[in-house]
């Protein structure tokens, strides 16, 4: 029996213990698949994930999450609020705030003054979804996306809010969404990890740190954690052989390791040794498949150009969007991008246009590129951040120069592909963009919906830890049927 799961996930004995499967060796061979080395790059049967999954036919085979870290201002991007202009510099009515807690940064502020957006909104596409002038390319794909304007979250600070978005809990220690999905569905590709993370560097090279635990596996076996493909140095840590070790010499060494491990297996009888042999082979294949993936030479010029001029810069959001498409093509299940520095407490008027420019064209190009290749039908794309921003100014209100604080009571994001109703909007916030007034979508609802599109009932994807069955959506979440085709 050979085992070719990318991240052999857990050892076989752990797998058995964890799932309580009393399977014999023959059944195990089924569970772990029986492909020979050199299987086709994409194969639907390379890993079966958990038995019984998907729970129902899936609309999405894979997910691309374009995470905008720092809290993009919904009021300046996706949720137009003319009233803010009419009420410029008035106090935010108590009837709107309703005792909502505010962060330590504005707690000492004498007043919360209403702050309009200085950016105009226009309708996009046939559907006419109104989107800010800061996102002109996104506006052009308005007919392909669904803008949700009724997101809400409990967290008001970055770390808890991002952790919540990614793992369903504000406190560290739970598995991230990608890890849950890898755990549940397994992988589609023998030569690449099934959960890949790309962190981009924005034009200002600023923003807050991102913590590797955001793509961690929490209490799930560590093989499910996301693998960061880096833009500088080796794309995967320790992927490159030492100077002087060529592929040929590595092969010479590996053959020796394999031969001796086989002898050792005959001696000790531990089946874990066979798994080790296959993992070393997998590592060897990754050393070829990852650089192939990262090299964009084969991409036609018009495709590269469609992602904008930054595509030539390693580590740019544009390049990562193109890489995301390549990863999607190769059967990577969960592709997590991060773009940082949306945290505009001050100087939003200056900074927001820059960062919007970083991401606007590449995001739209990705949707078009996926669509043109027929991949959008089974790829779910999510664009958004951990929370939005306040309709009152941080500091003084000013029509031209302003900043906004964190705000989780209502914010916006967009989704596309894989059974999401294109050319629509969903939910609404009040005239201040402060509270949700229609079709609220909690972060747990969003997570339930993402899992649903992958054919997973979020209440039934669980893992027992500390005596309790845990799930991504805790005890919450309902599928947002209103955005589904």
Partner 1 sequence: MRTDFHPCHSARREESTWTLAPLRRIESPAGFFATLRMTSSPQFVLTLLAVAGSCAVHAAEPIDFNRHIQPILSDACFRCHGPDAGSRKAKLRLDQRDGVFRTREDVTVVVPGKPDASELYLRISSKEEDEVMPPRESSRQLKPAEIDLLKRWIAAGAPWGTHWAFSAPARPPVPAIEKRDSKSENPIDAFVRARLAREKLTPAPEAERAALLRRVSRDLTGVPPTAAELDAFIADVAPDAYDRAVDRLLASPRYGERWAWDWLDLARYADTNGFQGDPERTMWPWRDWVVNALNANMPYDQFTVEQLAGDLLPEATRDQKLASGFHRNNMFNGEGGRIAEETRVENVFDRVDTTSTVWLGLTFTCARCHDHKFDPIKQTDYFSLYDIFNQMSETGSASGGGGRSGAIVPVLDMSTDAEREAVSKAQAAIDAVAKEIETFELIKFPRPEGKAVVDSPAAQKLPGNLVATHARPAVNRRDLNGLLEALPFFRDTEPDAPYVALLNKHISAIRKRDNASNNITKVMIMDELPKKRDTFVLNKGNYESRTDVKVLGAIPSLFAKTSLGEGTPPTSDTPARLNRLDLARWLVSPENPLGARTAVNRAWQAFFGTGIVKTAEDFGAQSEPPSHPELLDWLATEFVASGWDVKKLHRTIVTSATYRQSSRVTPALHERDPENRLLARGPRHRMPSWMLRDQALAAAGLLNETRGGPSVKPYQPAGIWEEATFGKKSYQQDHGDALYRRSLYVFWRRIVGPTSFFDAGARQVCTVKVAHTNTPLHALVTLNDPAFVEAARVMAQRALTSAVRTDSARLDAVFRAATARLPAATEKSVLLGRLAKLRGQFGAAPAEAHQLAGAGEFERPESIPVVEHAAWTALCSLILNLDEALSKE
Rounded CA gap, 88 and 391, in Å? 10
Of the listed pieces 136-144, 215-223, 324-332, 410-418, which binds partner 1 according to CB under 8 A? 215-223
Residue 257 touches partner 1, criterion: CB under 8 A = yes
Among positions 128-167, residues that touch partner 1 (CB under 8 A) are: 156-159
What is the residue whose two structure tokens read 């029986």?
34
Among residues 26, 36, 232, 301, the one that binds partner 1 under rule CB under 8 A: 232
Contact pattern for partner 1 over residues 263 through 292, marking x by CB under 8 A: xxx-xxxxxxx-xxx-xx-xx--xx-----
Closest C-alpha to 439, from 474, 479, 395, 383? 479
Among residues 77, 197, 236, 365, the one that binds partner 1 under rule CB under 8 A: 236
Among residues 36, 110, 238, 481, the one that binds partner 1 under rule CB under 8 A: 238
Residue 407 touches partner 1, criterion: CB under 8 A = no
In whole angstroms, the minimum distance from the beta carbon of 412 to partner 1 comes to 21
In whole angstroms, the minimum distance from the beta carbon of 248 to partner 1 comes to 6
Angle between helices 12-19 and 272-294 (to 10 degrees): 100
Nearest CB to partner 1, comparing residues 338 and 414? 338
Residue 426 touches partner 1, criterion: CB under 8 A = no
Rounded CA gap, 183 and 181, in Å? 5
Among residues 128, 249, 288, 309, the one that binds partner 1 under rule CB under 8 A: 249
3-state secondary structure 59-110: CCCEEEEEEECCCCCHHHHCCCCHHHHHCCCCECCHHHHCCCCCCCCCCCCC
Please check whether residue 446 is in contact with residue 416, taking contact to mean a CB–CB distance below 8 angstroms: no
Residue 108 touches partner 1, criterion: CB under 8 A = no
In whole angstroms, the minimum distance from the beta carbon of 445 to partner 1 comes to 9
Among residues 47, 391, 470, 480, the one that binds partner 1 under rule CB under 8 A: 470
Q: How many residues of this chain interact with partner 1, rule: CB under 8 A?
A: 121
Q: 68 has which bridge partners?
A: 339
In whole angstroms, the minimum distance from the beta carbon of 409 to partner 1 comes to 15
Among positions 311-340, residues that touch partner 1 (CB under 8 A) are: 340
Nearest CB to partner 1, comparing residues 235 and 423? 235
Of the listed pieces 38-46, 294-302, 420-428, 467-475, which binds partner 1 according to CB under 8 A? 467-475
Contacts of 414 (CB under 8 A, 6+ apart): 78, 138, 145, 146, 147, 148, 382, 383, 384
DSSP codes, 145-199: EEEEEEEE-S--SHHHHHHHHHHS-SSTTSPPHHHHHHHHH--SBSSS-SEEEEE
Among positions 442-461, residues that touch partner 1 (CB under 8 A) are: 442, 444, 457, 459-460
Please give the torsion angle defined by the CA atoms of residues 78, 83, 89 and 92, in that order, rounded to the nearest 10 degrees.
-90
Using DSSP bridges, classify how beta strands 411-416 and 379-384 pair: parallel, antiparallel or unpaired: antiparallel
Nearest CB to partner 1, comparing residues 135 and 352? 352
* Cα 426 to chain centroid, rounded: 21
Among positions 192-211, residues that touch partner 1 (CB under 8 A) are: 199, 204-211
Contacts of 288 (CB under 8 A, 6+ apart): 191, 247
């Amino acid at each position: 029996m050979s085992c070719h799961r990318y991240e052999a996930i857990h050892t076989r004995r752990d797998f058995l213990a964890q799932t309580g499967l009393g399977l014999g060796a023959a059944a195990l061979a089924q569970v772990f698949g029986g492909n020979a080395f050199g299987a086709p790059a994409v194969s639907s049967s390379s890993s079966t994930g958990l038995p019984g999954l998907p729970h129902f036919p899936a609309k999405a085979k894979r997910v691309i999450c374009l995470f905008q870290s720092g809290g993009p201002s919904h009021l300046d991007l996706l949720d137009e609020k003319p009233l803010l202009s009419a009420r410029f510099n008035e106090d935010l009515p108590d009837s709107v705030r309703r005792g909502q807690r505010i962060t330590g940064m504005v707690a000492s502020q004498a007043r919360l003054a209403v702050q309009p957006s200085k950016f105009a909104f226009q309708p996009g596409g046939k559907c006419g979804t109104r989107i800010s002038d800061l996102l002109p390319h996104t506006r052009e794909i308005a007919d392909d996306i669904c803008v949700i304007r009724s997101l809400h979250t409990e967290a008001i600070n970055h770390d808890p809010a991002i952790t919540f978005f990614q793992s369903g809990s504000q406190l560290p220690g739970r598995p991230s969404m990608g890890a849950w999905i890898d755990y549940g569905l397994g992988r589609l590709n023998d030569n690449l990890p099934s959960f890949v993370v790309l962190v981009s560097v924005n034009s200002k090279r600023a923003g807050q740190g991102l913590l590797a635990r955001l793509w961690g596996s929490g209490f799930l076996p560590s093989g499910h954690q996301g693998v960061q493909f880096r833009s500088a140095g080796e794309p995967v840590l320790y992927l490159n052989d030492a100077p002087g070790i060529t592929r040929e010499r590595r092969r010479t060494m590996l053959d020796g390791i394999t031969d001796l491990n086989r002898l050792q297996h005959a001696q000790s009888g531990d089946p874990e040794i066979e798994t080790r042999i296959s993992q070393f082979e997998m590592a060897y294949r990754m050393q070829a498949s990852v650089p192939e993936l990262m090299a964009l030479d084969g991409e036609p010029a018009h495709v590269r150009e469609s992602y904008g001029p930054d595509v030539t810069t390693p580590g740019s959001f544009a390049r990562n969007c193109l890489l995301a498409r390549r990863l999607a093509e190769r059967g990577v299940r969960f592709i997590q991008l991060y773009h940082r520095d949306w945290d505009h407490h001050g100087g939003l008027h200056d900074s927001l246009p820059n960062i919007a420019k970083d991401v606007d064209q590449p995001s739209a190009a990705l949707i078009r590129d996926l669509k043109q290749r027929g991949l959008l039908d089974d790829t779910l794309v999510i664009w958004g951040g951990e929370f939005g921003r306040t309709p009152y100014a941080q500091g003084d209100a000013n029509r031209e120069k302003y900043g906004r604080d964190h705000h989780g009571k209502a914010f916006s994001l967009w989704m596309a592909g894989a059974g999401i109703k294109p050319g629509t909007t969903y939910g609404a916030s009040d005239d201040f963009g402060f509270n949700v007034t229609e079709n609220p979508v909690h972060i747990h609802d969003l997570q339930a919906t993402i899992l649903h599109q992958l054919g997973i009932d979020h209440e039934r994807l669980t893992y027992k830890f500390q005596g309790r069955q845990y799930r991504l959506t805790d005890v919450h979440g309902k599928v947002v049927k209103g955005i589904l085709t």
